[in-house]
A and B are shown apart, each in its own frame.
Chain A
């Protein structure tokens, strides 16, 4: 009986991985005070870059590098517009998503219709993968999946246990104070935005060469927005991003899983589950207004003028 839960958990974890990657990158950018709504666009650009890399024989290493580089580059453009030119972050982020969606649709046409010639395969860890339930889901992932867990832990560690992390959070709280302490506000924000782009690119890479192994227009099907919501959902804490992503992945897999085992629940109720879960958690979180205020970076989304 318990084995029959394996496919459910495995598909929840598989759906959670790219959400974690993208949300982690966004979390770091937001912690430095920059709100980048361009996640979906950056993920698509990363996905196409990764697919193009494998399609031209670049292999998996090439795919990862291409995706992260493409994501970081486009994020730096966003950085230039919002940090140097000080344009509105919300508008610039939305434009980035529109740009990413359009440009990948246009450039990707010739890559539609065939399978990625190389892809990440599942690598079960000996012994660990035999643990009931956890084994087939957490210990039978592909390399990108394992890398995600490492990145999750590393991000949490850097943010909370290192000087650099402290500086980044300080800049996000009050860039003016940070500057008076001699912290390089704009360079750190650039770095955080580039990191966010690279991680979104990696999430796209996961879709294109690990999960779907193909390129299709709009491959990420709106998951960038879910990742964006996850950051708020997790009140800007990395480990909670992991939990939130699992919850989202699990809830969307659950509806389909129940149908496959012939449980009679309304299909329409099932497909609204992820949204219901979001509402429940948001209500739960916002029942304590201070929790959000305490956790949200105080300067989030605000331009910083070095002279002020």
Chain B
């Protein structure tokens, strides 16, 4: 669905500019577009991207002109939307979901003069650059909190699609918790969607029914957190700060911060030197964070999280550092070593403590 509001506003702006300046010198603004997988009003993933877009607009003013297209299904439809945006003169197009990877690559071939930026993917091209945020870092810290808070020693994870991006968050969450309590286990339910409050809620109910008492989700709505509050257990916010949805159940929110990156991309393009390097930023780059940590946590929990957060932010600590054991207890990574980015980006196994079988 196209948001006409933005288009109209942009059009109105363009008309006003033309009227004011006539045919004068005013440099054309850089046209940038965003393709969103959900509605901006999801309060989560897409909302966070849109906050980033707004931050770039606030910084650069009328040097840029932005368009968004919301709720674009992953697949063939996406390619059509991306082509359409490029045809309309957008020099920079951000495609903000994993499933846009192939459509972005295909569309980009036809528009060599435009730059495409694909979030969370792993394939780049001459004019396709990938960017991602190491959400496993705040997920690990959330795990530490969960390890302190869980009374039953059972955590729940509502997962979207079995891709490395999600699997490593499950692993990081579990590793964080087990660094506090080595007996903790994590149950995982896959909902096969990024956004469906009904399914997310049912998944959370199923997990809570099986004894999980601290939940984390890799889906885009706040339904899991709300369900946790209704059932008297705890959970986290994901992608955006979700404190206000469930103040009692909320332990902390792992958030994405895209504004800095979007501003940088725009500035580089304005300067005539488009950004072409893969960016995989973490907490130390300010691309994500763990915020609104509950005041109700025990002093030990607060201290443990603060210490690890400082270590991660300063770059002293890597989350995926050995020893890492697989589900059967076999060594996946020896002590003292760390997974390379390539390994993190292709992880296809659960670590020790995660229950169930990873869907292939």
- A residues engaging B (CB < 8 A)? 4, 6-8, 10-11, 14-15, 101-102, 105-106, 108-109, 112-115, 207, 211-219, 221, 223, 252-253, 256-257, 259-262, 264, 266-268, 271
- Contacts of B285 on A, CB cut-off 8 Å? none
- Contacts of A253 on B, CB cut-off 8 Å? 202, 205-206
- Contacts of A262 on B, CB cut-off 8 Å? 187, 355-356
CB 8 Å contact bits of B38-62 with A (1 = contact, 0 = none): 1111110001000000000000000
- Contacts of B38 on A, CB cut-off 8 Å? 217
Is the CB–CB distance between A106 and B5 below 8 Å? yes
Q: Which residue of A lies closest to B47 (CB)?
A: A112
Is the CB–CB distance between B39 and A7 below 8 Å? no
Is the CB–CB distance between A11 and B205 below 8 Å? yes
Is the CB–CB distance between B190 and A267 below 8 Å? yes
CA of A255 to CA of B298, assembled, Å: 36
Is the CB–CB distance between B197 and A221 below 8 Å? yes
Mark the stretch among B12-20, B167-175, B207-215, B308-316 that contacts chain A: B207-215
- Contacts of A212 on B, CB cut-off 8 Å? 197, 201, 223, 226
Is the CB–CB distance between B206 and A217 below 8 Å? no
Is the CB–CB distance between B357 and A264 below 8 Å? yes
Distance to closest chain B CB from A132 (angstroms): 15
CB 8 Å contact bits of B172-206 with A (1 = contact, 0 = none): 00000000000000011111100111110111011
Within 8 Å of chain A (Cβ to Cβ): is B1?
A: yes
Is the CB–CB distance between B206 and A218 below 8 Å? no
Q: A112-B41, A211-B201, A218-B39 given as contacts; is B206 within 8 A of A268 (CB)?
A: no
Which of A10, A102, A112, A260 makes the CB contact (< 8 A) with B1?
Answer: A102
Is the CB–CB distance between B199 and A252 below 8 Å? yes
Within 8 Å of chain A (Cβ to Cβ): is B98?
A: no
Distance to closest chain B CB from A22 (angstroms): 13
CB 8 Å contact bits of B225-245 with A (1 = contact, 0 = none): 010011000000000100011
- B residues engaging A (CB < 8 A)? 1, 5, 38-43, 47, 71, 156, 162, 187-192, 195-199, 201-203, 205-210, 212, 221-223, 226, 229-230, 240, 244-247, 355-357, 359
Q: A262-B356, A271-B192 given as contacts; is B43 within 8 A of A113 (CB)?
A: yes
Please indicate which of the listed interface residues A213, A218, A253 has the most CB atoms of chain B within 10 Å of its own CB.
A218
Is the CB–CB distance between B198 and A7 below 8 Å? no
Which of B40, B43, B240, B356 makes the CB contact (< 8 A) with A259?
Answer: B356
Is the CB–CB distance between B203 and A223 below 8 Å? no
CA of A57 to CA of B332, assembled, Å: 55
Is the CB–CB distance between B209 and A260 below 8 Å? yes
Q: Which residue of B lies closest to A257 (CB)?
A: B206
Is the CB–CB distance between B205 and A10 below 8 Å? yes
CA of A115 to CA of B209, assembled, Å: 23
Distance to closest chain A CB from B158 (angstroms): 9
CA of A215 to CA of B47, assembled, Å: 14
Is the CB–CB distance between A260 and B206 below 8 Å? yes
Is the CB–CB distance between A216 and B39 below 8 Å? yes
8 extra A-B contacts, CB within 8 A, seeds A217-B40, A262-B355, A262-B356? A7-B209, A11-B202, A11-B206, A216-B39, A252-B202, A256-B199, A260-B209, A271-B191
Q: A4-B209, A211-B201, A262-B355 given as contacts; is B191 within 8 A of A256 (CB)?
A: yes
Distance to closest chain B CB from A86 (angstroms): 29
Nearest 8 pairs of A and B residues by beta carbon: A7-B209, A217-B41, A217-B39, A260-B206, A114-B244, A267-B359, A271-B192, A11-B205
Is the CB–CB distance between B189 and A260 below 8 Å? yes
Q: Which residue of A lies closest to B245 (CB)?
A: A115
Please indicate which of the listed interface residues A8, A105, A252 has the most CB atoms of chain B within 10 Å of its own CB.
A105
- Contacts of B356 on A, CB cut-off 8 Å? 259, 262, 264
Q: Which residue of A lies closest to B242 (CB)?
A: A113
A-B contact pairs, 16 of them (CB 8 A): A7-B206, A8-B209, A114-B244, A115-B244, A115-B247, A207-B197, A214-B226, A216-B43, A218-B41, A221-B197, A259-B356, A260-B187, A260-B189, A260-B209, A261-B210, A267-B162
- Contacts of A15 on B, CB cut-off 8 Å? 198, 202
Number of A-B contacts (CB under 8 A): 127
Q: Which residue of A lies closest to B230 (CB)?
A: A213
CA of A262 to CA of B356, assembled, Å: 5
Q: Which residue of A lies closest to B189 (CB)?
A: A259
Which of B42, B199, B202, B209 makes the CB contact (< 8 A) with A216?
Answer: B42
Is the CB–CB distance between B206 and A221 below 8 Å? no
CA of A268 to CA of B161, assembled, Å: 10
CA of A252 to CA of B221, assembled, Å: 18
Q: Which residue of B lies closest to A101 (CB)?
A: B1
- Contacts of B210 on A, CB cut-off 8 Å? 4, 7, 260-261
CA of A62 to CA of B293, assembled, Å: 35
- Contacts of A14 on B, CB cut-off 8 Å? 201, 205
Q: A217-B40, A260-B187, A260-B189 given as contacts; is B359 within 8 A of A268 (CB)?
A: yes
Please indicate which of the listed interface residues B40, B202, B208 has the most CB atoms of chain A within 10 Å of its own CB.
B202
Is the CB–CB distance between B207 and A260 below 8 Å? yes
CA of A155 to CA of B301, assembled, Å: 55
CA of A271 to CA of B39, assembled, Å: 23
Distance to closest chain B CB from A13 (angstroms): 11
Q: A260-B189, A266-B359 given as contacts; is B245 within 8 A of A114 (CB)?
A: yes
Q: Which residue of A lies closest to B208 (CB)?
A: A7
- Contacts of B359 on A, CB cut-off 8 Å? 266-268
- Contacts of B229 on A, CB cut-off 8 Å? 115
Which of A8, A105, A207 makes the CB contact (< 8 A) with B41?
Answer: A105
- Contacts of A108 on B, CB cut-off 8 Å? 41
CA of A246 to CA of B177, assembled, Å: 37
- Contacts of A105 on B, CB cut-off 8 Å? 1, 39, 41
- Contacts of A252 on B, CB cut-off 8 Å? 198-199, 202
- Contacts of B188 on A, CB cut-off 8 Å? 259
Distance to closest chain B CB from A143 (angstroms): 15
Q: A216-B221, A260-B189 given as contacts; is B41 within 8 A of A115 (CB)?
A: no
